[in-house]
């Protein structure tokens, strides 16, 4: 028995929701999706017992990028968020795509093995991360065990909800839903948070601050345009950040509608030409998601290392701390002025890794020229004036796909970078992910509504 089968055995003991005997209608699926969202918000707003009794112990202060990518909330039952399942899925998919493990996802038994291994590895990661977070509070062993079990329970609940949604009880996937919920929660907090910043006295939320400042006639241009207030430990939400959020959402929606059309003909109707569209943002937001996961996992590892290994292995702790320092997103326009070196290094890392992950994703997700050429041939398409030869089609498609991969990876990386530099609400990666997820949900809901409105379509597409 190999390591993959051993991990899959762990996944066999994981609670799994059944598939619905009959697919629920759209309204019921939307209701179940909404209920899953309510459960997530309740978990993300409920402190693990008994942390409310220890207000002076703040726990690990995670950067905003982790809260966005992993939909986590500090000290709550959703402390781990979707981190374990996202990381587990990423690891196994990369290993399978790189042929380090033998999996043929076209076979039902291999698909089941992949799913069970993903759940098993996700559970192991949740145990390790949950224990690390619980130990960080440095409380007695009984309290630590109670906190750990609650963190683990929260991760397991989110994994079960994700699987239930994907099995047909809801719309889309739980991972996308919880990421969108985390981004939305951050943006709403930045806009409307009615709490005052310590040592400053101003409201954290931009709208409450603006209302109070206009009524008092004490509008601070530093806070208004840069989110900078002397004495504040972080950059606060600003008007510039709000404007950038709106502009980037419009730009992303426009870019996601752009297509690059490849002329083809079909064997059935050889005289009629048609087009196969490729998305201009060919890799969508996947490179930024992968970069965010890598950065987030390194930051989490650094937090645990600095807490427990700084004295035993100082070189490791110092090296990780230095790497994480340059991986943290810029904190507004002013940092570009007073710390250009850090912003420059972060920018180069983000762009280079985004392009690298874009190419990697194209190869392992079946989006490369060879896979697309094979799909065209199987579908009965061919290019005008080109023989039905996979190698010839692959060479022509490579002229479209690889430039699109580089260009789309650069665009999403630059959008994320601009959003971070200008202090956009929800971080640049969060905005990219949220816009893509909303578009996916909209497309799927429109598709489901069309099937319900025209039942004959179900027979045509085989549902």
Domain boundary among 139, 173, 197: 197
Residue 95's pLDDT is what? 74
Q: Residue 37 belongs to what domain range?
A: 1-16+23-197
Pair 228, 273 in one domain: no
Pair 154, 56 in one domain: yes
Residue 35's pLDDT is what? 92
Write out the chain in H/E/C secondary structure.
Answer: CCHHHHHHHHHHCCCCCCCCCCCCCHHHHHHHHHHHHHHHHHHHCCECCCHHHCCCCCCCCCCHHHHHHCCCCCCECCCCCCHHHHHHHHHHHHHHHCCCCCCCCCCHHHHHHHHHHHHHHHHHHHHHHHHHHHHHCCCCHHHHHHHHHHHHHHHHHHHHHHHHHHHHHCCCCHHHHHHHHHHHHHHHHHHHCCCECCCCCCECCHHHHHHHHHHHCCCCHHHHHHCCCCCCCCCCCCHHHHHHHHHHHHHHHHHHHCEEEEEEEECCCCCCEEEEEEECCCCCCHHHHHHHHHHHHHHHHHHHHHHHCCCCCHHHHHHHHHHHHHHCCCCCHHHHHHCHHHHHHHHHHHHHHHHHHHHHHHHHCCCCHHHHHHHHHHCCEECCCCCCCHHHHHHHHHHHHHHHHHHHHHHHHHHHHHHHHCCCCCCHHHHHHHHHHHHHHHHHHHHHHHHHHCCHHHHHHCC
Residue 448: CATH number of its domain: 1.10.3370.10
Pair 40, 88 in one domain: yes
Pair 214, 302 in one domain: no
Residue 461's pLDDT is what? 52
Q: Which of 185, 158, 188, 165 is nearest to 40 (CA)?
A: 158
Residue 143's pLDDT is what? 82
Domains held by the chain: number: 3
pTM of the full structure: 0.79
Pair 340, 460 in one domain: yes
Residue 267's pLDDT is what? 61
Pair 135, 190 in one domain: yes
Pair 40, 176 in one domain: yes
Pair 317, 204 in one domain: no
Q: Measured over all CA atoms, what is the biggest interatomic distance in the chain, rounded to whole angstroms?
A: 78
Pair 331, 229 in one domain: no
Domain boundary among 197, 224, 251: 197
Pair 90, 184 in one domain: yes
Pair 88, 162 in one domain: yes
Cα distance between residue 226 and residue 242, in whole Å: 11
Pair 116, 220 in one domain: no
Question: pLDDT 10s per residue in the chain (463 long)?
Answer: 567 777 777 777 777 888 887 878 888 888 988 998 899 888 888 888 887 776 666 666 666 666 777 788 878 888 888 888 888 877 777 777 666 677 666 677 777 777 788 888 888 888 888 887 787 777 778 888 888 889 889 888 988 888 888 888 888 888 888 888 888 888 888 888 888 877 777 888 888 888 888 888 777 777 778 777 777 677 788 888 888 888 888 888 888 888 877 776 666 655 566 677 777 777 777 787 778 777 777 776 776 676 666 667 677 777 777 877 777 777 777 777 788 888 888 888 888 888 888 888 888 777 777 877 777 777 666 666 666 666 777 777 778 888 888 888 888 888 888 888 887 887 777 887 888 888 888 888 887 777 776 666 555 555 5
């Amino acid at each position: 028995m190999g390591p993959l089968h051993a991990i899959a055995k762990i996944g066999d003991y994981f609670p799994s929701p059944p598939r619905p005997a009959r697919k629920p209608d759209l309204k019921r699926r939307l209701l179940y999706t909404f209920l899953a969202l309510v459960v997530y918000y309740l978990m993300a707003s409920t402190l693990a017992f008994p942390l409310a009794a220890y207000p002076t112990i703040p726990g690990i202060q995670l950067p905003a990028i982790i809260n966005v990518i992993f939909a986590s909330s500090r000290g709550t039952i959703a402390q781990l968020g979707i981190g374990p399942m996202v990381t587990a899925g990423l690891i196994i998919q990369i290993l399978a795509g790189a042929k380090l493990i033998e999996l043929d996802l076209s076979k039902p038994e291999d698909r089941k093995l992949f799913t069970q291994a993903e759940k098993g590895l996700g559970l192991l990661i949740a145990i390790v991360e949950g224990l690390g977070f619980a130990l960080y509070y440095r409380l007695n062993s009984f309290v630590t065990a109670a906190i750990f079990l609650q963190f683990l329970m929260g991760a397991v609940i989110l994994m079960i909800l994700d699987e239930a949604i994907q099995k047909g009880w809801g719309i889309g996937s739980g991972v996308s839903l919880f990421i969108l919920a985390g981004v939305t929660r951050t943006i709403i907090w930045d806009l409307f948070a009615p709490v005052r910043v310590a040592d400053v006295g101003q409201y954290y939320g931009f709208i409450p601050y603006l209302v109070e400042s206009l009524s008092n006639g004490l509008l601070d241009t530093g806070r208004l345009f840069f989110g900078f207030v002397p004495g504040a430990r972080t950059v606060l939400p600003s008007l510039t950040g709000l404007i950038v959020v709106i502009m980037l959402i419009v730009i992303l929606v426009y870019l996601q509608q752009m297509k690059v059309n490849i002329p083809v003909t079909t064997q059935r109707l050889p005289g009629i030409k048609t087009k196969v569209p490729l998305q201009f943002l060919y890799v969508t937001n996947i490179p930024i998601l992968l970069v965010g996961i890598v950065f987030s996992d390194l930051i989490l590892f650094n937090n645990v290392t600095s807490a427990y290994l700084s004295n035993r292995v100082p070189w490791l702790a110092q090296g990780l701390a230095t790497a994480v320092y340059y991986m943290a997103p810029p904190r507004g326009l002013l940092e570009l002025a007073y710390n250009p070196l850090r912003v420059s290094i972060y920018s180069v890392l983000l762009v280079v890794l985004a392009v690298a992950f874009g190419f990697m994703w194209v190869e392992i997700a079946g989006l490369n020229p060879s896979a697309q050429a094979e799909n065209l041939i199987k579908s009965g398409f061919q290019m005008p004036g080109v023989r039905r030869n996979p190698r010839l089609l692959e060479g022509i498609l490579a002229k479209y796909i690889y430039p699109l991969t580089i260009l789309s990876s650069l665009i999403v990386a630059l959008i994320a970078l601009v959003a971070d530099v200008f202090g956009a609400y929800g971080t640049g990666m969060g905005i990219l992910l949220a816009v893509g997820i909303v578009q996916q949900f909209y497309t799927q809901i429109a598709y489901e509504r069309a099937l319900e409105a025209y039942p004959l379509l179900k027979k045509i597409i085989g549902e």
